[in-house]
Amino acid sequence: MGAEAGEGRVTARVLPLGVFLALLAFTVVLVAASVPAGIYAMFSGKLSATASAATLVRPYLWLGPVPIVFGYYVPAGVLFGAVMAVYVAMLVYGVLQQARPWRAVAASVREGFGALGSSPFVVMMVSIGFLTFTASMIDNVTSAAGVPIGAPAGDPLELFLGFTVAPVVEELGFRVVLIGLVALVLSLGKSWKEALGALWRPSMAMDGLAVGGGTAIIIWAATGLSSVAFGACHVACGGSGWQIGKFPEAAFGGLVLGYVYVKYGFHVAVITHWGIDYFGSAFSFYGQAAYGIPWNSGTTEYVGQYLVDYDLLLLFGLASFLLVAYLGLSRIARRRRPAEAEPFIPPPPGGGPGP
């Protein structure tokens, strides 16, 4: 009877797991396709009538809500290529780090959906779907309440470059500066390697300490404050085109990005942000460059953008939301009835943290 019950639990997992994995694979294909689509949009010369990849732009950084603009210029195409190389490297690192995605999938058949979290790459993809879906729901509620959200406006090529650069720049400014430096200071009593590691993944500052201790409280408080600053800066830092209705969605996004940064590391937060800003819009800008369809058209899209929209808002996005909700409820149940609840997320190889 015990063996039959175990087989029944595995069978019950495999069917929904198979659907989820099919949606995950489809999303990974779209993510991969977005790279050449974005390259075409940037370098085709057809995205803008006034700017091109050779247009000189000034790089910038954020130190929290304070912008730092460098005093030199670089071609837009060079800046685009440099940050895209960083994103591709982070994606590859996510595949190779800790449990490989295919091993996490195999483990999830035996141990439950939570084992998917042992792969940082899978966490990246799920975080993109979850945050896109939930942010869209927040925007819908905000719009229904009559609160203006606004929208970015300007030259398409400059906007696309901004969407491409923003993930790494904003994660450095709002996550590393406002959370990572706090974790670094709290780790100064450890070895230099552990202290610098806390800058990359702040949860390292909590390793070996009591759960819910003072270090954890300070780091999570910094995460909350950084999310408020992130939301406020979208509205108040100027020039973005966003209005007050953007604050709740951006602050929630900052909270999610802060969570994955603390638990999984800088690269996971950056790619999650990249998935929202770049991946969510790359096919729109490609559509304008290739077919002359305005990137922000609300009525006319081509098949590539339709696929991304439906995938992130109705398919993989919804599936990711349900997965995160399920794992969260499983974690609560496990704490209340440890012997009955399904395991949440086993520690990944090498002793790294779960989510």
* Range among 103-112, 133-142, 299-308 rated most confident: 133-142
Task: Report yes or no on 353 lying in a domain.
Answer: no
Task: Report yes or no on 194 lying in a domain.
Answer: yes
What is the separation, in whole angstroms, between the first and last Cα of the chain? 34
User: In the prediction, which pLDDT does 337 show?
Assistant: 67
For residue range 138-191, what is the model confidence (pLDDT) as tens digits? 999 999 999 999 988 899 999 999 999 999 999 999 999 999 999 999 998 888
d(CA 150, CA 320): 27
For residue range 187-222, what is the model confidence (pLDDT) as tens digits? 988 888 888 999 999 999 987 665 557 899 999 999
147 DSSP assignment: -
Cβ count near 286 (within 10 Å): 27
Task: Report yes or no on 36 lying in a domain.
Answer: yes
Max CA distance (Å), the chain: 72
- Segments forming the whole domain that contains residue 194: 2-336
Of 237 and 344, more confident? 237
Residue 302 — very low, low, confident or very high, per pLDDT cuts 50/70/90?
confident
User: In the prediction, which pLDDT does 208 show?
Assistant: 64
Task: Report yes or no on 37 lying in a domain.
Answer: yes
Q: Which residue has the tokens 């590539």?
A: 304
Tell me the two tokens of residue 257: 């990005």
Tell me the two tokens of residue 324: 């995160």
Task: Report yes or no on 106 lying in a domain.
Answer: yes
From 87, 123, 106, select the one nearest 14 (Cα to Cα). Answer: 106
For residue range 304-353, what is the model confidence (pLDDT) as tens digits? 888 999 999 889 999 999 999 988 888 887 777 654 444 444 444 444 33
pLDDT over threshold 70, residue 243: yes
The arithmetic mean of pLDDT across residues 232-248, rounded, is 89
Contact 53, 76 (CB under 8 A): yes
pLDDT over threshold 80, residue 43: yes
* H helix or E strand, kind and range, residue 62: strand 60-63
d(CA 29, CA 134): 22
Of 350 and 242, more confident? 242
Task: Report yes or no on 224 lying in a domain.
Answer: yes
d(CA 85, CA 335): 42
Cβ count near 154 (within 10 Å): 13
Task: Report yes or no on 271 lying in a domain.
Answer: yes
**Helical segments of the chain, H only:** 2-43, 76-96, 101-111, 120-144, 156-170, 181-186, 192-200, 214-236, 246-264, 266-274, 280-291, 303-310, 316-336
112 DSSP assignment: -
Contact 112, 343 (CB under 8 A): yes
For residue range 117-139, what is the model confidence (pLDDT) as tens digits? 999 999 999 999 999 999 999 99
For residue range 46-102, what is the model confidence (pLDDT) as tens digits? 999 999 999 999 999 999 889 999 999 999 999 999 999 999 999 999 999 878 898
**How many angstroms separate the Cα of 281 from the Cα of each of 191, 259, 269, 303, 308?**
42, 24, 18, 14, 9
User: In the prediction, which pLDDT does 210 show?
Assistant: 52
Task: Report yes or no on 303 lying in a domain.
Answer: yes
Domains of the chain: total: 1
From 276, 279, 283, 274, select the one nearest 304 (Cα to Cα). Answer: 283
Angle 72-232-182 from CA coordinates, rounded to 5°: 75
User: In the prediction, which pLDDT does 223 show?
Assistant: 97
